[in-house]
Structure 1
Amino acid sequence: MLALRGVSKRFGAVQALTDVHLEISPGEVVALVGDNGAGKSTLVKTIAGVHAIDEGHIEWKGRPVQIHRPHDAQDLGIATVYQDLALCDNLDVVANLFLGSEVRTASVLDEVAMEQRAMELLQTLSIRIPSVRIPVASLSGGQRQVVAIARALIGDPQVVILDEPTAALGVEQTAQVLDLVERLRERGLGVILISHNMADVQAVADRVAVLRLGRNNGVFSVRDTSHEEIIAAITGATDNAVTRRQARTTEAAK
């Protein structure tokens, strides 16, 4: 559905991305991982239209496309949920879901239609919140995260990018968000999941794409790859605390 072919991006003298390739298929969760400064945020912003690429090209359903601004990505069917969520605490759930995409009838906001659509969407995604009319400020961290994801789905996108969706969440809230990621896959959406949490990655991702110093450093099947192999690709070293702990565990079991 979405493919990056040899994408490079510079900021002055800094080469942020170099010849990066990435593919996302319908109904697939691809985790994008890497150390701080690996280029994950820059890559996401090139897909989302925040930064224009310098070299290479982006393909959408097999044809090259130009993404110069966020509206270009949205028009194609790409939605991005950033880590800061960008929710308005003083507005209720319905107002947040339709912010900038309000339903109008004869130039008047159709509150009934928006509330009905909001309840249908949240029910479809099995999102549990007390009411669609309570201010977002009164929701928990996990509830705020799923509301932000639901807002991204208002425009019926086909690819959703989630930037650290479980960061700073508790165990139960994290499980709620990961359940939602699985439901997005079941609906046939392509999902790019950025995360530092390997447990979350291995719980929901189908493939893991590793970036290191702005370059591809491997694409792994979660089913066939160990946690240690992914850590080694992220760090660029086969000897680290994780691999040493695994070696000790293996030796003790003999």
Structure 2
Amino acid sequence: MIGPPLLALRGVSKRFGAVQALKDVDLEIREGEVVALLGDNGAGKSTLVKVIAGVETPDRGVIEWEGRGVHITSPRIAHRLGIATVYQTLALCDDLDVAENLFLGRERRCPGVRGRLLRLLDYGGMRRQARGQLDAMGIRVPDVRAPVASLSAGQRQTVAICRALLGRPRVVLLDEPTAALGVPQAGHVLEVVDELREQGVGVILVSHNLGDVKAVADEAAVLRLGRNNGFFHVPTTSQERIFSAIIGATDNP
């Protein structure tokens, strides 16, 4: 491909005391590409996601954004670059409705005097924008005024993804988005991932489900004990070969 990747990690390492969580890890993600980040428990996936999201700072290595070295030392900096993260916990407020969750922490005030002086919130405007955002992503939530507690697990996951997209990120990290979902709900989440790719968003998909990876990923990066253990072109690589790299049956430096 022509030009530098949108996001690249070069030789990233991170240690927590005596534990070497990451060692010389490389990773690349381009616009409109879905890269699966795979590995067994303790492989370093969560630490790598936190490094990209600005929650953890690497001890060594380089992070590049569009070919330029950057220092992502906080989630705020990651957000400014255009990186959004949807963690497995989702961090949704059950008692608030869908629109309120989408705008949580960035609520919109009413235009004019009502917003400037009375500081009233523009609930109607937020609901209209929420409806438009959900429809644009093909996310099936019948009523944006419904409390999040009333939604299915799959709908809650897609609401969390939609909230991350309000800032128009260029890279989205999805941490096990289908882990607790049934087959129909997981299928809808994967449709949303496909839609992100069509919109030119780079997606890093953390998953244990090789079926999901085969369904939507373009590339797969395997971590083993904090190190790279292979990069695979998903459409042309068998699940068995990827699985062997995950469990360490094969070494792919």
User: Would the TM-score normalized by the shorter structure come out above 0.5?
Assistant: yes
Per-residue deviation, 1:101 = 1.2
Residue in structure 2 matching 1:230, options 225, 236, 242: 242
Q: How far apart in 1 are the matches of 2:199 and 2:107?
A: 24
**TM-score, with structure 1 as normaliser:** 0.92
AA matched with 1:198: L
What is the CA deviation profile of residues 159-211 of structure 1, one whole-angstrom value per residue up to 9, with x for unaligned ones?
Answer: 00000000110111010100000000000000000000000000000000000
What is the CA deviation profile of residues 101-127 of structure 1, one whole-angstrom value per residue up to 9, with x for unaligned ones?
Answer: 111232321112111110110010011
Per-residue deviation, 1:158 = 0.4
The residue aligned with 2:223 is 211
Residue in structure 2 matching 1:142, options 141, 149, 154: 154
Per-residue deviation, 1:24 = 0.2
Question: Is 2:73 the counterpart of 1:61?
Answer: no
AA matched with 1:221: H
Q: How far apart in 1 are the matches of 2:105 and 2:123?
A: 14
Question: Is 2:40 the counterpart of 1:35?
Answer: yes
Partner SS for 1:109: coil
Question: Is 2:28 the counterpart of 1:23?
Answer: yes
Query: What is the percent sequence identity of the aligned residues?
Result: 67
Partner SS for 1:113: helix
What is the CA deviation profile of residues 72-96 of structure 1, one whole-angstrom value per residue up to 9, with x for unaligned ones?
Answer: 1011110000001000000000000
**TM-score, with structure 2 as normaliser:** 0.93
Runs of 4+ in 1 over 6 A off after TM superposition: none
Per-residue deviation, 1:15 = 0.5
The residue aligned with 2:113 is none
Q: How far apart in 2 are the matches of 1:39 and 1:149?
A: 23
Q: How far apart in 2 are the matches of 1:108 and 1:15?
A: 50
AA matched with 2:75: P
Per-residue deviation, 1:146 = 0.2
CA-atom RMSD in angstroms: 0.7
Residue in structure 2 matching 1:190, options 198, 202, 207: 202
The residue aligned with 2:188 is 176
Q: How far apart in 2 are the matches of 1:83 and 1:138?
A: 19
Partner SS for 1:234: helix
The residue aligned with 1:97 is 102
Where in structure 2 are there 5+ consecutive unaligned residues?
1-5, 111-115
The residue aligned with 2:92 is 87
Where in structure 1 are there 5+ consecutive unaligned residues?
239-254
AA matched with 2:81: L
Task: Give the total of aligned pairs.
Answer: 238
